[in-house]
Amino acid sequence: MTTTAPAPVQKKLPRRSLVAWLADTGWRHLVAIAVSIFAVFPLLFVISSALNPNGTLTGSNALFSKFGPDSFIRILTGNQTPYLLWFGNSVFIAAVTAVASTLMAALAAYAFSRMRFTGRRFGLITIVVIQMFPQLLGAVAIFLMMTAIGDIFPVLGLSSRLGLIMVYLGGALGVNTYLMYGFFNTVPVEIDEAAKIDGAGHARIFFSIILRLVAPILAVVALLSVIASFSEYLIASVLLIDPESQTLAVGLVKLVSNPRYADWSAFSAGAIMAAIPVVLLFLALQRYIVGGLTAGAVK
């Protein structure tokens, strides 16, 4: 006669009270929900304003009270708002600035990380300190400088996209260099020494080996440069006088600069369309962002 073993007795776990849950982890969820609502509300307001055909913010207080593509059609087909031209100028300036500034910052970071020379530490500190001063302080000086340069080289003067790119590149050796410097320090020096034994110089080591190993930080710096130059307004509004050479940020401000009638609906529609490529680029490079920002802080 066989006997079956008794089934194990399952102990009932005591239910946690609501107060205990709130004290332990619940308050984190509540804070996250509140912060999410606070962050999403402006976006919902902009979308509601873009879909409102009235063109003013007065009628946009009630979210999504009216729907219509009039704002998008108005900004894309208006004679006084060459949106596609502004968009193309912004994309061109942002792309060239991102590539050139990333390469310049990488070269500077490699020099500070791998070479030992007089004034190295002072140069690093100076690069960071200079970034503490806002662009507003140099707006007048930049305007006068570009005016003088335009008299000699018109292609680099006022209303020149190339001139604006050169101004942006003038400030490229800033926080990006220091950020890359921290990442370059995580790459073992033994790799450089092995390449030098095989006869490679600094240029070959940098372009053939180091750039492949620091791809995450290159993507991060390029993304930050695209966002900064794509949305920059102050210097672009000072230098780009010709409407055909203006960027999207400068052109959209014209829609709301008239005190009698500010077309906030078209402005919101243009801002939404301008944000789409930046968001897509961010999503495409997001796998590099965490690694690129955190790896340089280890050492």
Same domain, 134 and 243: yes
pLDDT tens-digit profile of 154-169?
A: 888 888 899 899 888 8
DSSP assigned state of 25: I
Same domain, 57 and 116: no
Residues 271-275, mean pLDDT to the nearest whole number: 89
CA quadruple 249, 255, 256, 260: dihedral, nearest 10: 160
Between CA 70 and CA 51 the distance in angstroms is: 8
For residue 151, being part of any structural domain is answered with yes
For residue 245, being part of any structural domain is answered with yes
At 136 the pLDDT is 76
> H helices within the chain, ranges in order?
18-21, 27-50, 70-77, 83-114, 120-130, 139-152, 161-170, 175-184, 189-197, 202-205, 211-213, 215-231, 234-239, 248-256, 264-284, 286-295
Q: Work out the end-to-end distance of the chain between its first and last CA atoms, rounded to an integer number of angstroms.
A: 70
Q: Which CATH number goes with the domain that contains 198? A: 1.10.3720.10
For residue 218, being part of any structural domain is answered with yes
> H helices within 51-82, ranges in order?
70-77
Q: ∠155-157-160 over CA atoms, to 5°?
A: 65
pLDDT tens-digit profile of 22-31?
A: 777 778 888 8
Same domain, 245 and 190: yes
Between CA 134 and CA 232 the distance in angstroms is: 13
pLDDT tens-digit profile of 57-84?
A: 655 456 777 777 888 888 888 777 888 8
Tokens of 172: 């490229």
Model confidence at 237: pLDDT above 80: yes
Q: Which residue has the higher pLDDT, 294 or 109?
A: 109
Between CA 245 and CA 150 the distance in angstroms is: 15
At 171 the pLDDT is 75
- Kindly report which listed range (4-18, 161-175, 188-202) carries the lowest average pLDDT score: 4-18
Nearest to 229 by CA among 101, 46, 43: 101
Between CA 103 and CA 105 the distance in angstroms is: 6
The pTM for the full model equals 0.81
**What is the C-alpha radius of gyration for the chain, rounded to an integer number of angstroms?**
27
Same domain, 157 and 281: yes
Yes or no: say if 239 and 142 are a contact pair by the CB < 8 Å rule.
Answer: yes
203 burial via Cβ count (<10 Å: 0-12, 13-18, 19+): exposed
Model confidence at 216: pLDDT above 90: no
Same domain, 57 and 170: no
Tokens of 257: 């600069």
Between CA 265 and CA 243 the distance in angstroms is: 21
Same domain, 181 and 214: yes
Domain count, the chain: 2
Range of the domain at 44: 25-68
DSSP assigned state of 62: S
At 137 the pLDDT is 81
Name residues whose C-beta falls within 8 Å of residue 42's C-beta, 6 or more positions apart in sequence. none
